[in-house]
Amino acid sequence: MMLIKLGGSVITDKSQYRRFDKDAVSRLCREIAESGKQAVVVHGAGSFGHILAKRYSLQDGYSSKEQIPAVAMVQHDVRELSSMVVAELLEAGIPAVSVPPGSCFVMDDGKLVIGDEEPIRSLLAMGIMPVLFGDVVMDRKKGFGICSGDQAMEALAEMLKPEKAVFVSDIDGLYTSDPKKDPDAKLIPEVTEEVLKKVSTEQSVDDVTGGVAGKMKEMLDMCGNGMECVLINGTIPGNLQNLLEGKEVKCTVARAI
């Protein structure tokens, strides 16, 4: 089974509040369906989550009552986004349902806790794809916090032991330095802890859950039991399908050693 995260930068326009990229999502869902692989999809929040979350510092937990309407609003917005993603999966012929982390689970000091696995396992047993996403989740210590789609990926990887965890983003992978600023930046095809230490951490995007290097670190933490984590560019048509079908694709693979 494949665990796939559709990044917020691919499914939304991150610079504009609540701007969904229907064409990109529709194509990616068709690619998943056409690969014929059993998959679980997680998606990021993009401009449906990060803009308000940052404005109200939701990632730091509760600090004032002014944040509360924003907690509810971000939950509302990411649920709407998830409905749109699920609609495209249905359209592609994949029976899918949203499983909102903020409604089903809690966090403990920033870590997502999936106490009850039964809803997810039962959906899968019925041939239905559970779709998790980046959300505001109540936190036992901080009141609430941001659970990124990457954290949901980590928890699902632990639970479901997929063959691969695929992170679909708008970049080809991890570079030696920021490719937007440095013309000599080179793509790193395989990343380990050692390699990551030497890479510039400036390759960040403007969101509340960290950039490329942070993502790689999380990917490395997830690797193990023979599972590899792959970062690919989902804005290039066919990339996701090719990867799922085992064909060669430009990407960065994270491996634990």
Cβ distance to ligand IP8 smaller for residue 94 or 136: 136
Question: Quick check: 131 binds ligand IP8 (CB under 6 A)?
Answer: no
**Helix (H) / strand (E) containing 102:** helix 101-104
Partners of 230 in the β-ladder: 166, 253
Least distance from ligand IP8 to the Cβ atom of residue 66, Å = 17
Question: Quick check: 229 binds ligand IP8 (CB under 6 A)?
Answer: no
- Going by C-alpha positions, the residue among 133, 131, 138, 123 that lies closest to residue 62 is 138
Stretch that binds ligand IP8, among 90-98, 130-138, 173-181, 234-242 (CB under 6 A): 130-138
Number of amino acids touching ligand IP8 (CB under 6 A): 18
Neighbours of 51 (CB within 10 A): 20
Identify the residue whose tokens are 């690969």.
35
* Single residue of 44, 145, 173, 179 touching ligand IP8 by CB under 6 A: 44
What are the backbone dihedrals phi and psi of residue 199, each rounded to the nearest 5 degrees, phi first? -90, 140
CB 119 within 8 A of CB 128: no
Least distance from ligand IP8 to the Cβ atom of residue 73, Å = 10
- Going by C-alpha positions, the residue among 244, 243, 228 that lies closest to residue 190 is 228
Least distance from ligand IP8 to the Cβ atom of residue 125, Å = 26
Task: Tell me the CB-side half-sphere exposure of residue 131, using CA atoms within 13 A.
Answer: 23
* Single residue of 6, 78, 96, 99 touching ligand IP8 by CB under 6 A: 78
Question: Quick check: 218 binds ligand IP8 (CB under 6 A)?
Answer: no
Query: What is d(CA 46, CA 190) in angstroms, rounded to the nearest whole number?
Result: 26
The pattern of x and - marking residues 3 through 42 that bind ligand IP8 according to CB under 6 A reads -----x----------------------------------
Cβ distance to ligand IP8 smaller for residue 203 or 242: 203
CB 6 within 8 A of CB 234: yes
What is the footprint of ligand IP8 within residues 141-180 (CB under 6 A)?
A: 146, 148-150
Question: Quick check: 135 binds ligand IP8 (CB under 6 A)?
Answer: yes
93 Cβ contact partners less than 8 Å away, ≥ 6 residues apart: 33
Contacting positions for ligand IP8 (CB under 6 A): 8, 44-45, 49-50, 53, 74, 78, 134-136, 146, 148-150, 207-209
